[in-house]
Amino acid sequence: MNSALQYAVVGTGSVGAVLAQRFSDHHVPALWANTRGPETIDVTELSASITPTTLDAALDADVIILAIPFLKVRELGTTRSDWSGKIVVDATNAFLVPNSEQILGGRLSTEYNAEAFPGAAMVKSFNQTAARQLAEKRPPEFGKRVVFVSSNDSAASATVAGLCADLGFAPIELGRLDEGGTLIQARNALVLRELYELPSALEQNAQSTSTVEHQVSPGTWTIDPIHSSITFSVRHLMVGRVRGRFGDFSGAITVPENGIPSFTATIAVGSVDTGNPDRDEHLRAPDIFGADEFPTATLASVDMHSTGQNDWVLIIDFTLRGITKRLPLPFSFLGVSAGMGHGEVAGFEGAIKLKRSDFGVLTDTPVLAGGGPMLADTVDVTVSVEAVKQPSAPTRSEGGAAPV
């Protein structure tokens, strides 16, 4: 940790709150500010490392993280004429900003923002993933979330990468904004990717395992929704991707003494989140998920077979909008951890391709003028699961009278 530098988070929205929590959890001192004043900032659940302050005081910090709406960045930049000596971290994106192409005029969003901070070293980071993903807390055994860092100033990039490491992330420096930095521009290759750096101990453990049965002890393992995720993406207009996730789901893995483990899950389709409330509301409509009539999607395994040392295929019956299809779900077993005092934890990650037409979703999708559908038929779904071993029910000899 570079204790000589003073850090500040500007913005108390979803991203600002997640970053403040990270600073708090890792006891890295930071100022936290917004335009409404420190009295409006609630730090009762945070550690003493977070100090609410005025906006002016926050802008005096050495490293200033901008977690504010994209269209407010330039307004903030005009509050000072010279930002020399400052590192300004751009955690914003122009994604979904009206008329963004005309506003940017061919520039990357961070290059555009940098013009409002003359003299500062502008660094792009903390912006390639949704706030919910950024907030995820994983036991060390299951790796650290990768965050990307890009800047035209290599020293500033290294400083921010060091901060990312102090906050429990695994930073990867991408070089200049106009080179590697383009990969974390909205809609590009590294945006909304679920990437983790696995510790070498876990990799060694994974190499020594042979089957799920030998590593996952018999019993019931329930999905931990806080440390699990269900995300999806679909091609849009033939050139981009719309990405999202479901925030409300549950499930369990049942491992018998002998035989094949089984897996069940229930997803509340109304919890869909693509980062745009209007689009999310449309996805709940009758012609898409039909959330009022069909509030849940379900998954139930019917078979499982190995395709490699730690790789498997789960054969599932997947039901959406009342329609059930039998599909293969390839997945990897990531190992078992002793957990954090609440039982053993097993990790799994899988991916599945669904055809929306199989489930009657948007059957009348418009065709583009140049050919091709407005929305692709194939939807890529990624499932990352941490499952917690449940305590065994006490036997008759372990206490308690037998039921009468």
Provide the residue-wise pLDDT of the chain in tens; the chain has 404 residues. Answer: 544 689 999 999 999 999 999 999 888 899 999 999 999 999 988 888 899 999 999 999 999 999 999 889 989 999 999 999 999 999 987 776 777 777 777 788 888 889 999 999 999 999 887 777 778 877 666 788 888 999 999 999 999 999 999 998 989 998 888 887 777 776 677 777 778 787 755 444 444 443 333 467 889 999 999 889 999 988 887 677 888 999 999 999 999 888 788 999 999 999 999 889 999 999 999 888 999 999 999 999 998 887 766 778 889 999 999 999 998 888 888 888 877 767 889 999 988 888 888 998 877 776 776 666 778 888 989 999 999 999 876 544 444 433 32
In 3D space, the residue among 267, 272, 328 whose CA is nearest the CA of residue 296 turns out to be 267
In this prediction the pTM is 0.51
Sign (positive/negative) of CA torsion 125, 127, 129, 133? Answer: positive
Q: One-letter amino acid identity for 398?
A: E
332, HSE (Cβ side, Cα atoms, 13 Å): 8
Per the CB < 8 A criterion, the answer to whether 403 and 369 are in contact is no
Give dist(CA 388, CA 390) in Å, integer.
6
Give dist(CA 161, CA 258) in Å, integer.
48
Q: What would the two tokens of residue 338 be?
A: 């002793």
